[in-house]
């Protein structure tokens, strides 16, 4: 009787393990992996300057997007932005922005974002929560996003596009310029993300 009980227990454990592996396989199979195309992706920003606003972009964005078109909640994003790629359409200003007075990009060269949760409101829209690390400080952020679409490109690839909007306070990430008396540059930074991804082969999904 004892041997029968042991065998049943072993079989039950094997069944649970197989079911878990099968479910994980199905979940991963539903996901498609896209590499962020840094040549067609932008992190656009705007910030108060005296009585107006200055805008620009970070043009070097790398990372991977896993998307489940049937269930956006089963999607994720892992992205890095090169702070040295800042472009405000004024070379002298850009050279100043990357210095210690502002971004301190020589010391903190990357901004990273890793998603933790997605709440979908439709097949193409939702709210993403994740951890943003900037200037050595990590904070959880939540922002809305939209899937713009999917399509074949002229080079034989398959692409998708996303748009997201958020804002952050520079002072929350340890930047001191907004805290100065009569600061010419504001604290709140408005951000629009325009991300284009190129589909990767299935074997890249789990990596």
Give, in words, the CATH class of 32-204: mainly beta
pLDDT computed for residue 2 by the predictor: 47
With cut-offs at 50, 70 and 90, classify the pLDDT of residue 30: confident
What six digits make up the tokens of 10?
């072993």
Res 140 pLDDT > 80? yes
Q: Which of 150, 140, 145, 141 is nearest to 120 (CA)?
A: 145
What mean pLDDT is predicted for residues 13-40? 62
Q: Which of 204, 207, 134, 116 is nearest to 172 (CA)?
A: 134
Share of the chain above pLDDT 70, in %: 84
Number of C-alpha atoms within 13 angstroms, CB side, residue 129? 7
Res 138 pLDDT > 60? yes
Mind listing the pLDDT tens digit for each residue in 63-91? 999 999 999 999 999 999 999 999 999 99
Assign 176 to helix, strand or coil. Answer: coil
pLDDT computed for residue 165 by the predictor: 96
Going by the DSSP 8-state scheme, the letter that residue 9 receives in this structure is: H
Name the pTM for this structure.
0.81
What mean pLDDT is predicted for residues 99-112? 96
Assign 70 to helix, strand or coil. Answer: coil
Q: What is the DSSP string of 91-119?
A: HHHHHHHTSTTTT-TTT--EEEEEEEEEE
As a whole number of angstroms, the distance between CA 100 and CA 123 comes to 43
Do the beta carbons of residue 144 and residue 165 sit within 8 Å? yes
Q: For the chain, what is the mean pLDDT?
A: 88
Those residues with Cβ within 8 angstroms of residue 154's Cβ, 6 or more apart along the chain or in another chain: none
As a whole number of angstroms, the distance between CA 104 and CA 109 comes to 8
Do the beta carbons of residue 130 and residue 77 sit within 8 Å? yes
């Amino acid at each position: 009787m004892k041997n029968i009980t042991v065998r049943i227990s072993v079989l039950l454990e094997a069944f649970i393990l197989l079911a878990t592996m099968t479910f994980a396989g199905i979940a991963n199979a539903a996901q498609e992996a896209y590499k962020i195309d840094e040549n067609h992706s932008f992190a656009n920003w705007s910030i108060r300057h005296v009585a107006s606003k200055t805008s620009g972009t970070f043009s070097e964005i790398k990372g991977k997007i896993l998307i489940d078109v049937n269930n956006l909640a089963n999607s994720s994003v892992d992205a890095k932005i090169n702070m040295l790629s800042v472009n405000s359409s004024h070379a002298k200003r850009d050279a100043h922005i990357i210095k210690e007075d502002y971004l301190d990009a020589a010391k903190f060269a990357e901004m990273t974002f890793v998603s933790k949760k997605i709440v979908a409101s439709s097949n193409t829209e939702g709210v993403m929560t994740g951890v943003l690390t900037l200037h050595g400080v990590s904070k959880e952020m939540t922002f809305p996003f939209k899937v713009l679409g999917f399509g074949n490109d002229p080079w034989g690839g398959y692409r998708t596009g996303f748009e997201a909007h958020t804002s952050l306070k520079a002072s929350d990430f340890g930047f001191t310029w907004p805290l100065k008396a009569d600061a010419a540059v504001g604290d709140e930074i408005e951000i629009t993300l325009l991300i284009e991804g190129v589909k990767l082969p299935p074997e890249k999904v789990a990596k």
